[in-house]
Structure 1
Amino acid sequence: MTQATIGSSEFDRDTRVRLRTDGVFDADLPEGWSVGAGLNGGYLLALLGRALGEALERPDPFTITAHYLSGTTPGPAVIRTDVAARRHSTATGSARLLQPDADGNEVERVRVLGTCGDLSALPADVHTTAKPPEIPPWEHCVGAEHSPHDAERMPPIVHRLRLRLDPATLGWAIGEPSGKGEMRAWFALPDGRDHDPLSLLLAVDGLPSVAFELGIDAWVPTVELTAHVRARPAPGPVRVALTTRNVAGGYLEEDAEVWDSEDRLVAQSRQLAKIKPKPSHFRSQ
């Protein structure tokens, strides 16, 4: 496989934004990032993270929180940003993703608030009790290519990611969920592009939901997602570990940790997701 460089890959193309006027960007959202009834929340977070970073003139998202207000669909979109504060090393602002309705009125889909800076300028000291997840080697994990389902029956986003799931968290796929509320996987991009801070925003929401390993066969759209990017990742696939401890009132929380090839914790997130019946075209899969 040819190694795609950062800036030339499918992910970069599909998260590209075009400056229309001061603080306002245009974007074209392709169908390939769809899952369920709309576009993946991690993809949208990366798209908005790119626009916000450009508006703030800071390269990396340090912390970003998104509220998903309505389903985002493929097609044209506009991103309107607002700068709240500029400091010596960081800047904070908000961004809104809007799409036209049938009458041409702008409908807000996602709103984010974030702080951006330069991760390469941070000190290198690390003091942590966190440990990398125990995941079998890449070749001993399970990818979409091992699925018994035809490719056309899979959500389009499956073909935009290169996932290898830990078999210990894959019981749901054979009707034997563990009930532990855990999901672990290796995560890479199919064209070989190495990860950067923006693709880590995709990684925190790129795995199947932990709800599946709890035996919940449902669609689990994100309501709110907060991500912290801690460092620029080393080259190679990252390992993503998801957990949940509480499902109540039709909602669950999902905590994510992302570890790079040098065993560094490079991103963390928590999201609140709603448990909903699967769209009809996902049933029987």
Structure 2
Amino acid sequence: MRVMYRKAADAALVGALLCGTAACTSGSDPAPDSKAGQKPFKVTPATAAAVKRAAEENEKLTSLTYTMSGKVPGGGNVAAKASMSMKPPAIQMKMRGGTAAETGEVEIRLVDGAMYMNGGKEAAAGMDGKSWLKFDLAALGKGGGADPMAGLSSQADRNPAQESASLTAAKDLKEVGEETVDGVRTTHYAGTVTIADMRAGLKGEDAATKERREKGLKQYESMGVDALTLDMWVDENDHTKQFRTRGTSDKGPLDLTIKFLDLNKPVTVKAPPASETMDLAAMMKNASDGT
């Protein structure tokens, strides 16, 4: 049972920090590459300013709903829809994912300092008919990032739209052109950036921002990804409509597209009924007591 939740957390962790889309673009597009002998790329001031404005708007978000789909290194295909608020941190996500031989659906809720995971009938069969498993976020956070559960807890307050700030560090940032996303006219920007460049770009940021973004960088590193190809679609109000992240690792490709839906609208997340919930702490205590 624990194994099942760990596998779900592996995929959900990436979804929680990179986030969503129902209309994911094809993963077959080649990533831009740099070739010896090419002339130095020059980022125009207008393009840099437009991407910076969009990134700043994303930092201001208080809540959002998004969809996510794509591939996760070692985790196969994933698809999810989530709503989250930043203050206080809360999220409700329904996610399906896994390898071809092993797929499953899980619902995750983060609320009031606890994480709840619902594995459906399979989970209930091993928990006296209770389909929800409760994890204490504070306790998981003390466990470090080795356990996917702990990693997910560390991303509980992460705004997925903030991923767009990484694009500002791209040395080959360019404006691809105008494109329509869900009936909305947007401007498509793209660029490539290394994890090292992203970390260097944190200089000058406040301590809270550094800590928040560093979590995401460490997650990429744990997946074996050291460089990213980023695409962002921005509407006329400087709001990000879609964001795509691609990378490679020895565990397989990373290719996730995020589509942002409702922004700054009320989000309410409720804890599951206690009668349907098994508390992991209590379960582990009973196990150690032999009960």
TM-score (norm 1): 0.29
Q: Which structure carries more helix by proportion?
A: 2
TM-score (norm 2): 0.29
* Structure with higher RCO (Cα < 8 A, 6+ apart): 2
